[in-house]
Structure 1
Amino acid sequence: MTSRITQLGKQLFTMAQKTKTDITLYTTNTPNGIKPSILLEELNLEYKVYPIKMTENEQKEEWFLKINPNGRIPALTDTLDGKQIRVFESGAMLQYLVDRYDKDHKLSFPHGSAEHWEMTSWLMWQMGGLGPMQGQANHFKRYAPEKIEYGINRYTNETRRLYRTLDTHLAQTESGYIVGDKVTIADISIWGWVSSASKSSLSSCVTTTVS
C-alpha cells in the first residue's frame, strides 16, 4: 500500500511540474493580453512575464518596438534553434504555442484535420471581426472626445451581429465549445472579449450568448 501511495505521489508531482521554456511574455490585462497567459497556464509551461505599463506608453518605447514593431501588446520572445525569436499578434502567439508545445493536442487539433481548420476559422473570426468591431464600439461609446452617433451605432450593431453569429453556432454544437468537445485556442481567443463585453457598456450585445 505504501509503495502505491508513493508512486501516486510521484505521478502527481510530475503532473504539477511545469515544462521549462525560455518564453518571456510581454502583456497586460486586456482582452488580447490575457489570451497567451491563459494558454501558457493551460499548457503548464514555465515562463517569465514582463508587465507592460500602457499608461506610460511603454509599448511605444524603442526596446519594445524591436519585439513588436506595431507597438501593441501582447508579444513574446522564445528561443528556437539557439536563436531568440519574437512572436506578436495574439492569434499568431496562440498558434505558435500550440504548434510548438501542444504536441498532445490538449488545446488544439492535429494540423490539417477538419477540426484544425474549423478552429483556425473561428480564431481568425475573432481576430478579424469580433475584436476590432467590439474595440471600436467600446472606443466610440466610452472614450471618443465627442459623441458620434454614426460611429456608436455602426460598431455596436456590428458587434451585436457578430455575437448573434457566435450564439447561433454555440446553440448548434452539442458540447458548448467552439469546436469539438474541448477548450481550444478558438475558445481562449474569444473568451477575453466576451468577458470584457459582459462587464462593460456593451453587455446588451452578449446577454444571450453568455447566459
Structure 2
Amino acid sequence: MSDYQLFLASTTNGRKITVLVELLNIQSKVEIITIDLAKKQQKEDWFLKINPNGKIPALASKDSSNPFYLSESNAILQFLVSKYDTENKFSYPVNSNNYFKTLELSLFQVSALAPVQGKIFGVIRNLLHLSESDVNDLYTEIKRVYQVLEDILKSNNTGFLVGDKLTIAEVFVLPWIEKAAFSKIDLTQFPLLNDLLKRSLQVPEIAKGLAY
C-alpha cells in the first residue's frame, strides 16, 4: 500500500515530481492522481483542503490518524528525498555545503526561471497578450537566466549543477529547459546546459518522468 497521494498534471512542475518518482523507484510508495486542469479540479473544495492555493502539485499522506499535506513542487521534491533517498543517491546530506547549494538553486529556479519562462509559455499559447517590447524583455531576461545556469555549470566543472552527480538540483530545472525549443529559446547558445539536457534524456527514468 502506498504511503502518499501525489496530485499532479502534465506541467513543468508536475513533471519534476514524476521524474523524481522514477529516479527513486518509489512507484509503490506513492499513488499518482492526475488532476484535470481544464475542468478546474484543482479549484474544487476537496482539493482546496489539500492545497488552499488551488494549484498542483500537491501531496497528501494516507495516514488518517496523522494527516499531512504539502504543496509547492520543490518542497515536495525535498520531502520525497528526505523520506526515500536515505543513501543520498540524488541529494546531499542535510547541513552539508551542497545541501545548501541545492536549496539555493531551488529558490533561483522558483524566483527567476519559472516566472519568466511561464510567461513565455502563456504568450506562445495565446493565453497572455503582451506588447512586442514586453515580449522582447521576456526573452532578454530568460536568456540571462539560462546564462546563469550555464555559468553555474562552467564554474562547477563537473557536468552537474551541484556537486559531482545527478541530483534534485537537475530535477528542479530539467522540465523547464526541456521546453526550450517550445519556448523558442535556442539552447545551443548554452552548450553546457544543452549537454546536460542531452545526457539527462539518456537516463530512462528521466525520459519516462518527463513524458508524463
Measured against the shorter chain, the TM-score band is: 0.7 to 0.9
Matched, 1:106 2:105: no
The 1:192/1:126 distance shift into structure 2, 3 A limit, reads: same
- What TM-score does the superposition give when structure 1 sets the normalisation length? 0.83
Q: Count residues in correspondence.
A: 191
2:110 and 2:64 map into 1 onto residues whose CA distance is 29
1:110 and 1:81 map into 2 onto residues whose CA distance is 30
Matched, 1:204 2:194: no
The 1:145/1:85 distance shift into structure 2, 3 A limit, reads: closer
Post-superposition CA distance 1:76-123 (Å, at most 9, x none) = 112569412111000110111112221111111111111111111111
1:81 and 1:186 map into 2 onto residues whose CA distance is 32
If you compute each CA radius of gyration, which structure gives the higher value, 1 or 2?
Answer: 1
Q: What is the DSSP-based 3-state SS (H/G/I as helix, E as strand, rest coil) of the residue aligned with 2:38?
A: helix
The 1:143/1:180 distance shift into structure 2, 3 A limit, reads: same
More divergent stretch after superposition (134-143 vs 22-31): 134-143
More divergent stretch after superposition (77-86 vs 53-62): 77-86
Q: Which residue of 1 aligns with 2:164?
A: 181
2:188 and 2:108 map into 1 onto residues whose CA distance is 16
Structure ranking higher on relative contact order (CA contacts 8 Å, 6+ apart): 2
- Is residue 129–residue 162 contact of structure 1 (8 Å, CA) maintained in 2? yes
- What TM-score does the superposition give when structure 2 sets the normalisation length? 0.82
Matched, 1:28 2:9: yes
Q: What is the DSSP-based 3-state SS (H/G/I as helix, E as strand, rest coil) of the residue aligned with 2:67?
A: strand
Alignment of 1:41-190 (within 5 A): 41-45=22-26, 46=28, 47-79=30-62, 82-144=65-127, 146-190=129-173
Q: What is the DSSP-based 3-state SS (H/G/I as helix, E as strand, rest coil) of the residue aligned with 1:77?
A: strand
Q: Which residue of 2 aligns with 1:13?
A: none
2:99 and 2:173 map into 1 onto residues whose CA distance is 16
- Is residue 120–residue 183 contact of structure 2 (8 Å, CA) maintained in 1? no
- Is residue 5–residue 62 contact of structure 2 (8 Å, CA) maintained in 1? no
1:51 and 1:125 map into 2 onto residues whose CA distance is 27
2:187 and 2:135 map into 1 onto residues whose CA distance is 13
The 1:80/1:122 distance shift into structure 2, 3 A limit, reads: farther
TM-align CA RMSD: 1.9
1:141 and 1:148 map into 2 onto residues whose CA distance is 13
1:38 and 1:121 map into 2 onto residues whose CA distance is 20
Letter of the structure 2 residue corresponding to residue 166 of structure 1: L
- Is residue 137–residue 151 contact of structure 1 (8 Å, CA) maintained in 2? no
1:145 and 1:106 map into 2 onto residues whose CA distance is 40
Question: Hey, which bits of structure 1, 4+ residues long, moved more than 4 A?
Answer: 79-82
Q: What is the DSSP-based 3-state SS (H/G/I as helix, E as strand, rest coil) of the residue aligned with 2:120?
A: helix
Letter of the structure 1 residue corresponding to residue 80 of structure 2: L
More divergent stretch after superposition (91-100 vs 142-151): 142-151
Cα shift at 1:179: 0.8
- Is residue 98–residue 108 contact of structure 1 (8 Å, CA) maintained in 2? yes
Q: Which residue of 2 aligns with 1:37?
A: 18
